Structure 1
Amino acid sequence: MYDLDELLAFDHVMRSGSLTRSARALDLAKSTLSRRIAQLERKLGQPLLRRQSNRLLPTEAGHAFHVYCRQILELAEQGRQALEELNEEVSGELHVVAHNALARSWLSARLTAFMKVHPEVRLTLRTGTTPTLTADSQAVTVWLGEVRGSELRQEVLGWLHRGL
């Protein structure tokens, strides 16, 4: 398996043609950068760069591997960005259909608390006395009691206890 630091070092040297410039750009010691490239070459079993005067030139293997190196680095960056987006604010649209009795009592407090934590969510609340019965609805349906004849998956969220 390749180490991303080794791939990044190789990519920088390939693009700049200079160990010194690449070390400076990566904020590394020149010896550390050289060691990373040497480790990558050992793992691959062949040289990727050759010295000519004061320059580093890619070997045929270096040219070929650089294409894959770029793809690996780009995928790693895409993965990092995808995970970063998951850590960001929850946003988008939320459609809720609820029984009238729930909307005025239990649900209103829950939705208010949810919206305080997730202010980027746009909430649409529809209330009524009959629920949506088809699975193609894009709404979360919160209802009192079992909904007979519905294609929707039903799950008990809790019990309401009322008394005189």
Structure 2
Amino acid sequence: MSALDEVRAMMIFARVVEEGGFSAAARKMGLSRAAISHQIRQLEAKLGVPLLRRSTRTFSITDAGERYYDSCRTIMLEAEAARKRVEELRDEPVGKISITSSVHLGNLRIVPILNRFRRTYPSVAIDVHLSDDVVDLIGMGMDIGIRSGPLKSSDLKSFKLYQTHRIVCASPDYLDRAGHPEKIDDFALHDWVMYSRIPETLTMTCKGTEQKVRVNGHVRVDNATARLQFLRGGHGMAVVPQCDVQDDIERGDLVRILPDCILPDLLVYAVYPAGVTRSAKVQALLEFMRRELRDIDISRNG
């Protein structure tokens, strides 16, 4: 009998004594009565002394069994306590979460949410990686990535955080200089703040008709924060998420262009490797982010 087998047999012996019989212990442990009896016989052979006196219907514990039981019970209780400690890591938000996002979205929305999340769950440590590159989550050992859709097919799972309109805006200063576009075709005559993630050919639906127009500009950026700064500075028109500029529009700092023409909505997801959401900490963070982003989610607010 190996040391591991002996420890297992000790736990079985303690359970037999605790439950008052072989059958009750077998039901409790999900084993057969024959398996329980075999383990006890092996343990007695290993020790060289009988632990139990058996009869057809009952058993009693020997003096050696009485002394041995205390140690066996301690091992059984320690094993159960260790299992519960591990289950707490699964059932309670505790431990470290690594999360990556674009610089703009991270600073604008994700980091403030993580700030509030840690106030609610102080036992969760946060490792934040902000980058405009698409990070290999599995290769870098990251738990969650924040990405905008449509998502490419991959082995990653996804959880939609929010949906927002994409709109065309410009500053009043730019429009005073360049004039207000009156139709989609006019977009080709204007200067644009170009963003690497937005195609140069825009597809918009105006009064039920899909139209395409190619746009260009003297400013080109690969960062959404830079795009917004150049847009506010009057360097041209730009396609932006409505939730990012709604306050600017309400203050009059930016003007929405051709509001009756519609671009495809922007959907923002949390993506993660399969199995990550078995962790309570990750489940708690995903639900927390989605609740915090409810106000800007048009799919929940019409």
TM-score (norm: length of structure 2):
0.30
Structure 2, unmatched stretches of 5+, are 96-105, 123-302
Q: Would the aligned equivalents of 1:23 and 1:30 in 2 still touch at CA under 8 Å?
A: yes
How much has 1:75 moved relative to structure 2?
Answer: 0.9
CA distance in 2, matches of 1:22, 1:78: 19
1:37 Cα deviation from its structure 2 partner: 1.0
Aligned counterpart, 1:77 = 80
Contact 1:17 1:57 in 2 (8 A): no
The reply on whether 1:90 has 2:91 as its aligned counterpart is no
Between 1:105-114 and 1:76-85, the stretch displaced more is 105-114
- For residues 45-74 of structure 1, the C-alpha deviation after alignment (integer angstroms, 9 at most, x for no partner) is 322112245321111110011111111111
Residue 39 (1) aligns with residue 42 (2): yes
Which has the higher relative contact order, 1 or 2, with Cα contacts under 8 A spaced 6 or more apart? Answer: 2
Shift of 1:24: 3.2
> How far is 1:38 from its partner?
1.4
Distance 1:114 1:43 in 2: 58
d(CA) in 1 for partners of 2:108, 2:9:
54
Is 1:121 equivalent to 2:121 in the alignment? yes
Residue aligned with 1:22, SS: helix
Q: Report the Cα distance in structure 2 between the residues aligned to 1:120 and 1:44, rounded to whole angstroms.
A: 53
Structure 1 residue 42, shift from structure 2 partner: 2.7
Aligned pair partner of 2:10 in 7, 12, 21: 7
| Local SS of the residue matching 1:50 | strand
What corresponds to 1:18 in structure 2? 21
CA distance in 1, matches of 2:4, 2:61: 19
State the partner residue of 1:28: 31
1:24–1:108 CA distance, 2 compared to 1 (3 A):
closer
For residues 59 and 19 of structure 2, the distance between their equivalents in structure 1, rounded to whole angstroms, comes to 9
Greater Cα shift, 46-55 or 30-39: 46-55
Residues 90 and 120 in structure 1, CA contact (< 8 A), matched pair in contact too: no
Quote the residue 1:94 is aligned against.
none
2:61 match? 58
Question: C-alpha displacement at 1:111, in angstroms?
Answer: 4.6
Which amino acid is the alignment partner of residue 121 of structure 2? V
Per the normalisation by structure 1, the TM-score is: 0.52
AA aligned opposite 2:11: L
Name the residue aligned to 2:111.
Answer: 110
1:114–1:24 CA distance, 2 compared to 1 (3 A) = same
Identity %: 32
Name the aligned partner's letter for residue 38 of structure 1: R
Aligned length: 109
Partner of 1:150: none
Give the superposition deviation at 1:44. Answer: 2.6
Which one has the largest radius of gyration? Answer: 2
Amino acid at match of 1:90: V
